[in-house]
Structure 1
Amino acid sequence: MNTISHTPTFIYTFACSDDERSLWGLEMRSLFGQETESFIMKSPIDIDPSRSPFIKEQIEIMYEGQNLADILKQVEDIVLNKETFKVIFVKINDLAEANKVSYEDRRIMEKDLGLHINGEADVHNPDHVFGIVTLGGRWYFGKYRKNDAVWLLHMKKPRNYSIALGTRLARAVANIAVPNPNGIHAIDPCCGIGTVLVEALSMGIDIVGRDINPQIVQGARANIAHFGYTSVVTFGDISDITDSYDVAIIDMPYNLFSSTTPEEQLSILRHARRFASKVVIITIEAMDDMIAEAGFVITDRCVARKRSFSRHIVVCT
């Protein structure tokens, strides 16, 4: 039997649609430095599951073993005194279909684990939540966290714009741009009604916004304030930006929906090259030649699809 080392390790489960797989892969590479074809992964990197629209759960591993009996013995070390707890069997795993654990067996395992923990079980409002999961032929037990899907609340903005990014896409883009917020100063210089700003701010990312349309700027400010966040959103052209930023997120004005010309798009990219070390570009069509002409090198990319509509997400330095 093995117990966890002093360095924390985590297991994550994921969910995404077929249209989102490319976007999910890019977000995973950005957050974890790796991706997986299955919907479960082990990593030394601690990511709040609520940051990602694709992470379902996180387990911080406390104990591991070859089988459930190993785990049952180890959880006897947990002493919660008068604090309450709950144990959840994580349904997403890498077991072959023939070896899947039935609902009834999952409940039995949860009950058995609970009987070996020194504390009071409470399935409704526990002080502690633990998870049990199998991965790679081993069993893992640890502290359980579930995604709270805050981006769903952000869909109900007081100000809306028909071509604004969806909140799931905006949240993933914010993670791709700023996988680790510590010390990073970001800007959305074509922020529209602030969809990316709201998602980024909700994750503790230091980001400001700007837009050339004064009415849209007012809408972005109203949306940010509505959800209780604080940021600076200024009115003006991208050419007037003089500060430097670690990263810029640019939802490129689309020819399909605006009068922005290719020359104006190139100007936006050239200015972004001037004030940002890294840029994440969102566009409805590939624009690799224009990106190169602006002085960027593409380091990663994906295509985010929604039915017949696609957006290219391009990471540049």
Structure 2
Amino acid sequence: MEAVAWSADGMRLLVLGGTAWLGGEIVRAALDQGYEVVCMARGERPAPSGVTLVAADRDDPQSYSALDGDFDAAIDVTMVPAHAQGAVTALRDRVNRWALVSTCSVYAEDDLPGQDESARLLEPYEGPFDVEKYGECKVACEQAVLAAYGDNALIARPGLITGPGDHSDRTGYWPLRFAHPITDDGTVLVPDAPDSSVQLIDARDLAGWLVEATERGTGGVFNATTEHIALSEYLSLAREVAGHDGDLVAVDQEWITEHEIAPWAGERSLPLWLPQPEYAGFATRSPAAARVAGLRTRALEESIRDTLAWEIQAGPGRTRKAGLSPADERALIAETRAADR
């Protein structure tokens, strides 16, 4: 993983995306470094102030012809294999270095804790993007970038991304629930999962590192995440940040499964919780290589606090993409209490 450094003076960066959450943070980090930034995106959202937006649909292989000039580097957040392949094919002679935001979901084995970047990957999926094959699609994206750029490619595999702006509603669920319980007495339903872990990285830290690593010319594949902590520790910290002093109703894995509550994300779920032992390695990937490559992360407490502030600003009563609905949680709490009598 040798680094080929160059000066950031006059650096011209292409961000493929750049108008949504992580892409926007990448753009802001680059602008803070004085880069000239060009974003190529569909144009459905406004680009951050200070960038040049090239509105284009990457489903069209000719879309890259709308870009003018050459670039020192590109950062791509795509999960669509055809987009990754099309971009590196069209721009290989115009972009010196390439960074791809991948995911820790590319790994084939989720039950082995502590694995590093050498762990076995899923088979690549070359078809149209399929959310059910998210990891396989990202593997195909990685392969396209590595084949085109080799040592001049940076592959970042983050774990779960947190911070203000998390529209997936996963990492804001618990801070908001503790700050605004849906029961009259402040009781919150939580998973009793002593063996479950979480591994989060703030979008602002990931974006800053991507920009800095691109500037330094860092190449290689990295688990771009933090050290894992127990889910119970995360919940305690979220509760402390939110100032929650109500009761907790803790339900174990068997109970969660019996009540058909989904893990991790989505409707009627307990966000961040994963069943054990089959997911013992999912949120315990080794970030050692990324640390050596300069990745630094803020205190989790700060991320939780800022995420909670964003959640409150976004509206505590909005319909969420992840978690239990207020009515469902009330009914489940009432059921557990009735069973204890």
TM class by shorter chain equals: under 0.3
Q: Between the two structures, name the one with larger relative contact order (CA 8 Å, sep ≥ 6).
A: 2
**Which structure has greater strand proportion?**
1
| TM-score, normalised with respect to structure 1 | 0.27
Taking structure 2 as the reference length, the TM-score comes to 0.26
In terms of Rg, which structure is larger?
1
